[in-house]
Amino acid sequence: MVNPRAQDIPLPEIREMGFEGVITNSYIIWKDSGLRESVLAAGIHRHLGFDGVVMTDSGSFQLYKYGDVEVAPEEIIAFQGEIGSDIGVILDIPTPPDVGRRNAESDLKETIRRAGEATRPGDMLLAGTVQGSTHWDLREEGGKAMGALDFDLHPIGGVVPLMENYRFADLARVILHARRFLPPERPVHLFGCGHPMVFALAVALGCDLFDSAAYALYARDGRYITPGGTFHLETMAEFPCSCPVCSGYTPQELLAADRAERVRQLARHNLHATLEEMKRVKNAMAGGALWELVQERAAAHPALLEGLKAALGFNLEAGDPVSKQSAFFYTGPWSLKRPEVRRHLERLARIEERARALVILPDAGKPYSRHYGTFSNRDYHICVLSPVFGMVPTEIDDIYPLSQHVAPGEPDREQREFMKAASEEYSRGFHRVFVHESLAWLGLGDEVIRDIRGTGKGDELMKLRAMADYQFGQGAGRLLFPEGTRVERARTGKIRRVYLEGEYIFTSRASDGMLVPTMAGARRMLLLPWPGNRVVVSDQEAAGYVREGRSVFAGFVTDCDPQLRPYQEVVVVDGDDNLLATGRNLLSGPEMLRFKRGVAVKTRHGAVNLR
């Protein structure tokens, strides 16, 4: 947020740092007649000296602070268009946390009414703010109503007091309830979120844009921003940063400078710290380590940890990639609620073929089947009891993240409770249960054993089928891998290639253990019940490009498996279920059907190569 009258840091410098957009207040401009005429004549970009994206707020903050503004809702929207704003905001009714339900309902009703009457001036993008205070059903009602209207993005408003008072658990609930019914293709803007310690959590919960004047306000108060919190300048011995400000000053030198210089330099540093954290979040997302960063940031402040716990009370599995480049790091009991753990527990039920006798072994070196020297067969279903993922059948122990996780050696109390509950649940239905002597504390089983000698050799067909069920859905293994399927193993012992009747149909990817189909394997995947693991492209011209091996763009997807998660292996078909390609989807199923731009599936093989 920048003041339209004067800036602590020149906006060309902010642009040069790497910030692509700023937000300013159109009501301040509108109310000052001299400033209004000047900005109308020059345009907001020239007035600010900023050639990036300019978003303008409508005066809702002043309405919240002073109880009234002197401009009509339709008037301020039109004015934002007249001054050349790239993104305008409706004049919503900001409702602070904890207000009575009657007031929150009344404010929300008025905000929705104004939103319904809002008219977009010219090409300006329009933002519809979601309100509802800390009444979760009202946040959902606001999200549903705003999502049904013709907006381009959605700010979440009325949350600054939550952040000022470190109520991050309530902030997480506000975001998730508001986000629930908003269209997934529209960006979500978290109003007033300017402290970098919150960015990772907010992004993990679905926020895309942030704004705040915190960099300047903190600087005026002598406060120095870091990703883990803030320091008062007078308490600092060294600057833990190498930005231009911290490289050019010591804390003592900055304290000795005159106030204007001190505020200016602190504001510059605070912006650098903000941008650095944004880049760190982007890198974490690209490398599949966003939740690791969230956990790291949560460890910096108890209130932020409460926010993480509150967030993980929701099921966030649907939008979480099934495979990541980064290992899963267990940092505390909250990790047991992460999307990857929820997904594993849900997908265990997909595995169809299991022996009648269950063998439960303790956590060991990964992958477990190679550590123990065998995996399940027709007589014994062998599982490892993981302190992080619960029951892990040895047939699937190569699949991410079962072999790609790190945890302390000694389980904590919550892990032991989780292990006990997971093993009790999974053991139901087995004719006999054998438990390793080190797990006798579970109080389970018909017999305590010391080792697994005598369980026999692992059954490769059962292993393949279990992997396919777990990855593609219940029953997939039986359809994809009939009797006669043959496995070729790498020197490490890991499955390398899968053949059927002499035809190479699947490979097991070394990085994550996922089964990846060849075009022959993709042809077999059409045996899966519709619309399982499919992405449909009906446009004939687009289908022709995809058949040649080009990527599938979201705008051409007409149907898909609604259960698709990001980074699954999928087949691309036309409207008649004819195979076009195979590849890896980058979006979830619902996202593919809503997005109009961007790549939906990164194609690996096109059907022109079908042999």
* Contact (Cβ atoms closer than 8 angstroms) between residue 153 and residue 189: yes
Phi, psi of 385 (to 5 degrees): -95, 100
Active site residues: 57
**Separation CA 373–CA 523 (nearest Å):** 34
Residue 35 buriedness (CB in 10 A; 0-12 / 13-18 / 19+): middle
Q: Quick one: CA dihedral 278, 284, 289, 293, positive or negative?
A: negative
Residue 155, token pair as written in the block: 């700010």
Residue 454: what pLDDT?
83
**Separation CA 496–CA 195 (nearest Å):** 47
Residue 66: what pLDDT?
64
Q: Is 60 exceeded by the pLDDT of residue 611?
A: no
H/E segment holding residue 381: strand 380-386
Q: Which sequence spans correspond to the domains of the chain?
A: 348-448, 527-611
If pLDDT is split at 50, 70 and 90, which confidence band does 610 have?
A: low
The model's pLDDT over 222-263, given as tens digits with 9 standing for 90+, comes to: 999 999 999 999 999 999 999 999 999 999 999 999 999 999
The model's pLDDT over 91-135, given as tens digits with 9 standing for 90+, comes to: 999 999 999 999 999 999 999 999 999 999 999 999 999 999 999
Please state, rounded to an integer, the average pLDDT across all residues of the chain. Answer: 95
Superfamily of domain 348-448: Uracil-DNA glycosylase-like (3.40.50.10630)
Residue 581: what pLDDT?
97
For domain 527-611, the CATH architecture is Roll (2.30)
Residue 21: what pLDDT?
95
pTM: 0.94
The model's pLDDT over 130-164, given as tens digits with 9 standing for 90+, comes to: 999 999 999 999 999 999 999 999 999 999 999 99
If pLDDT is split at 50, 70 and 90, which confidence band does 195 have?
A: very high
Sequence-distant (≥ 6) Cβ neighbours of residue 58 within 8 angstroms? 26, 27, 73, 76, 77, 80, 88, 89, 90, 91, 92
* Contact (Cβ atoms closer than 8 angstroms) between residue 353 and residue 466: yes
* Contact (Cβ atoms closer than 8 angstroms) between residue 421 and residue 492: no
CB neighbourhood size of 421 (10 A): 11
Sequence-distant (≥ 6) Cβ neighbours of residue 205 within 8 angstroms? 172, 175, 176, 179, 311, 316
Mean pLDDT of 329-348: 98
Residue 329: what pLDDT?
97
The model's pLDDT over 455-497, given as tens digits with 9 standing for 90+, comes to: 889 999 999 999 999 999 999 999 999 999 999 998 888 899 9
- The secondary structure of 228-290, three-state, reads CEEEEHHHCCCCCCCCHHHHHCCHHHHHHCCHHHHHHHHHHHHHHHHHHHHHHHHHHHHCCCH
User: How far is residue 31 from each of residues 27, 34, 37, 220, 269, measured CA to CA in Å?
Assistant: 6, 9, 11, 26, 32
Mean pLDDT of 69-76: 91
What does DSSP assign to residue 561?
-
Helix (H, G, I), strand (E, B) or coil at 149: coil
Q: Choose among 336, 341, 319, 376: nearest CA to 563.
A: 319
Residue 172: what pLDDT?
98
The model's pLDDT over 489-531, given as tens digits with 9 standing for 90+, comes to: 988 888 999 999 999 999 999 999 999 999 999 999 999 999 9
**Separation CA 547–CA 4 (nearest Å):** 53
Mean pLDDT of 445-462: 90
Mean pLDDT of 264-286: 96
